[in-house]
Amino acid sequence: MRLTLVGFGTVGQGLAQALVEKGGLFERRGLAFDLVAVADSRSSVVDVDGLDPASLIERKRSSGRVGESQQTALELIREVDSDVVVEVTPGNPKDGEPALTHIKEALRLSRHVVSANKMPLALHFAELTGMAGPGLALRYSACVGGGIPMLETGLACREAEEVIGIDGVLNATSNFILTKMQDEGYDYATALREAQNLGYAEADPTLDVDGFDASAKIVILADHLMGRDLTLTDVNPMRGLRDLTPQDMRRAKARGKAIRPLAVVGDRAEVGPKEVDPRSPLNVFGATNVAVFRCEDSGERVVAGSSGGGVATSRAVLRDLVAIARGWGRGRV
């Protein structure tokens, strides 16, 4: 399958690296993926006979650019004949752009889409999934849980009964910060600084610590698994971590509880730090994600793991590509 890759940060480079390392695995399974076009925010590169992923990574690391062309991502999507557009640009909670336009244009042109960018889905889930359909795939496993197969596990849960609610720790940065505040007695600013030093938090941590990232994820989970029609602004309240103090953590502990950055959907969706029982499956530690699916008949089902950053997230993109490759023979529009 020929891929147009839009975005070449940690996830995009993780994907390129995997295409080098996993060639043998895919070959054994009868699958082949070729990068034919790649864009980052400043440049692009095209070769319809297939680009060499290793050289792209090297050029990006040495020059800060993936290519030498000024063609934009949108132009690549329109002009390069590829089977799948992989959208891995950074998220923008305001309007989902430019990823939203990339995804719509790709689907309009009947190209399959794999998105690791969650904001277009969290803002326009029904519209985007409505543009896809039999023979035209829009997949977005990487949007929730990094590399953890949260959507896949949730889908299995709802095959034979309804998922009636979902609780999760969906932002690893926030959980890392709260774990440090709980275990080490750090204040919020110190814990955030450590998260930044270790690469778990961005220089501007707003998306993570103010709840936008977790909100986008709980919206996607609810729309995908519970048939809801929520959008980002339906998450209410959306509370962040900035006001939490070490004293709050100690008070919770004295009550035999732990505070975790929860995202919850049942009748309504909300995000914010909340107390959980120490033995709850939601009481996970460090840069970890967990989702608990409340199933109508069979109780709670839990999926969890270390969020793992760009490499792990690129594995979720690969899973989506494999799924499309397997289904492809059964009739693409």
State how far the Cα of 232 lies from the Cα of 163, in Å rounded to an integer: 20
Q: How far apart are CA 143 and CA 281, in angstroms?
A: 21
Closest distance of CB 276 from a copy of itself, Å: 14
Judged by CB under 8 A, the residue of 56, 225, 312, 324 near a copy of itself is: 312
* 315 touches a copy of itself by CB under 8 A: yes
- Candidate list 156, 189, 198, 333; residue touching a copy of itself; CB under 8 A: 156
Using DSSP, state whether 272 is helix, strand or coil: strand
Q: Are 56 and 35 in contact (CB under 8 A)?
A: yes
Q: Which two tokens stand for residue 156?
A: 């299995």
Residue from 157, 195, 218, 238 in contact with a copy of itself (CB under 8 A): 157
Least Cβ distance, residue 281 to a copy of itself (angstroms): 6
22 in contact with a copy of itself (CB under 8 A): yes
- Coil, helix or strand at residue 29: coil
Q: Which of 104, 217, 253, 274 is catalytic?
A: 217
Are 173 and 292 a contacting pair, CB within 8 Å?
no
- Residue 164 binding a copy of itself, by CB under 8 A: no
Is residue 295 a contact point for a copy of itself (CB under 8 A)? yes
In sequence order, the 6+-apart residues with CB closer than 8 A to the CB of 169 are: 175, 260, 261, 262, 263, 282, 284, 288, 289, 290
**Binding a copy of itself by CB under 8 A: which of 52, 81, 161, 229?**
161
> Which residue spans within the chain are E strands per DSSP?
2-6, 34-39, 44-46, 84-87, 112-115, 138-139, 163-169, 258-265, 269-276, 288-295, 299-306
Select from 47-55, 65-73, 131-139, 154-162 the region that touches a copy of itself (CB under 8 A). Answer: 154-162
- 153 binds a copy of itself, rule: CB under 8 A: yes
Q: Is 104 a catalytic residue?
A: no
The backbone region for 83, taken as left when phi is positive above 0, alpha when psi lies in -120 to 50, beta otherwise, is: alpha
Please count the other Cβ atoms lying within 10 Å of the Cβ belonging to residue 300: 13
Confirm or reject binding of residue 300 to a copy of itself (CB under 8 A). yes
Q: Which stretch binds a copy of itself (CB under 8 A): 69-77, 80-88, 90-98, 294-302?
A: 294-302
Point out the residues that are catalytic: 217
Name the residues that contact a copy of itself, by CB under 8 A: 18, 22, 25, 147-149, 152-153, 156-157, 159-162, 279, 281, 285, 290, 295, 297-306, 308, 311-312, 315-316, 318-319, 321-323, 330
